[in-house]
Amino acid sequence: MGGWAIAVHGGAGVDPNLPAERQKQAKELLTRCLNIGISALRSSLPAIDVVELVVRELESDPLFNSGRGSALTANGTVEMEASIMDGDGRRCGAVSGISTVKNPISLARLIMDKSPHSYLGFSGAEEFAKQQGVEMVDNEYFITEDNVGMLKLAKEANTILFDYRIPLTGLDSCASSVESPIRMNGLPISVYAPETVGCVVVDGQGRCAAATSTGGLMNKMTGRIGDSPLIGAGTYAGELCGVSCTGEGEAIIRGTLARDVAAVMEYKELGLQEAVDFVIKKRLDKGFAGLIAVSNKGEVAYGFNCNGMFRGCATEDGFMDVGIW
């Protein structure tokens, strides 16, 4: 075994004009989360506890699209989704349609640990959360001013937005003041892109785990379920690796991206980075996405087929990297 390793992401698909200040904020948050994970790993916390801890931190910060700051449904509400998987024993838990649980990732963990099931959604999941005594808040807690502005824009453009986040300030002028190559229904889009979050970890004992959490897509239909809560699509961890995906959920589901990384390692005996490159190239038809992965040998890898992905990683031998493009 090659020691512990950790990777985090804050979403794939980035505005080429992303302002320096926003890039700085994203990098700071990713670095903070990596450091939380690193100290937990140094204190010998198991991989499954580390991914939960790190994703909780990401959910609590409004910068990315998970927990507070989640993307809004067409009705202006928040319906969050999350999943977690422990490669040690291949146990998993997932939630969808969460509107009042402060940290959906911890509810997914409780479903894994304390329920007879793997996946609960909507009122049943909220009911289970109450029984378990997890921290609950009003739906308004998750709704930020930026996202209200984004939803307005998405509605005006009559579109569902993937990874595009426009700040409320300057919204009216952004069409003329920001030069963006991306257009939706003729509307220039300024992409302030932090999106879905995820964390993958291999601990010092070679146990892999993965966790993913999201608000989904801006202006999504209520009831829409993406890849993030789906084990095998957005999240997977087994004996060999842990994987968390981000990007266009419908394309990730069709490509079963997370499980396929593990499958080509198992059945084609590819190395971690080779497996990631293979899956991004072969399994992503007509869609964009990215993913982060760790192997039980202490390696980290990532890949994406769009212009960028907010990400960071660190390994036990002292390597640390945070990047966007």
- 204 marked among binding-site residues: no
Contact 172, 187 (CB under 8 A): no
Other C-beta atoms lying within 10 Å of the C-beta of residue 113? 13
- 84 marked among binding-site residues: no
- Give the residue from 154, 152, 170, 171 showing the smallest Cα distance to 162: 154
- Give the residue from 156, 189, 248, 196 showing the smallest Cα distance to 15: 189
- Least distance from C-beta 224 to ligand ASP, angstroms? 8
Give kind and range of the element (H or E) at residue 84.
Answer: strand 80-86
196 is annotated as an active-site residue: yes
The smaller minimum CB distance to ligand ASP, of residues 9 and 109, is found at 9
The smaller minimum CB distance to ligand ASP, of residues 214 and 219, is found at 214
- Least distance from C-beta 48 to ligand ASP, angstroms? 22
Give kind and range of the element (H or E) at residue 197.
Answer: strand 197-202
- Give the residue from 235, 264, 211, 192 showing the smallest Cα distance to 52: 211
Catalytic residue selected from 159, 169, 196, 214:
196
- 227 marked among binding-site residues: yes
- Least distance from C-beta 226 to ligand ASP, angstroms? 3
- 13 marked among binding-site residues: no
- 225 marked among binding-site residues: yes
The smaller minimum CB distance to ligand ASP, of residues 182 and 270, is found at 182
Residue least distant from ligand ASP (Cβ): 249
Instruction: Pull the structure tokens for residue 36.
Output: 């939380």
The smaller minimum CB distance to ligand ASP, of residues 25 and 132, is found at 25
Interhelix angle for 104-114 vs 122-132, to 10°? 80
Q: Which residues bind ligand ASP (CB under 6 A)?
A: 11, 163, 195-196, 214, 216-217, 226-228, 246-247, 249, 252
Show binding-site residues. Answer: 224-227, 246-249
Show binding-site residues for substrate. Answer: 224-227, 246-249
* Active site members: 196
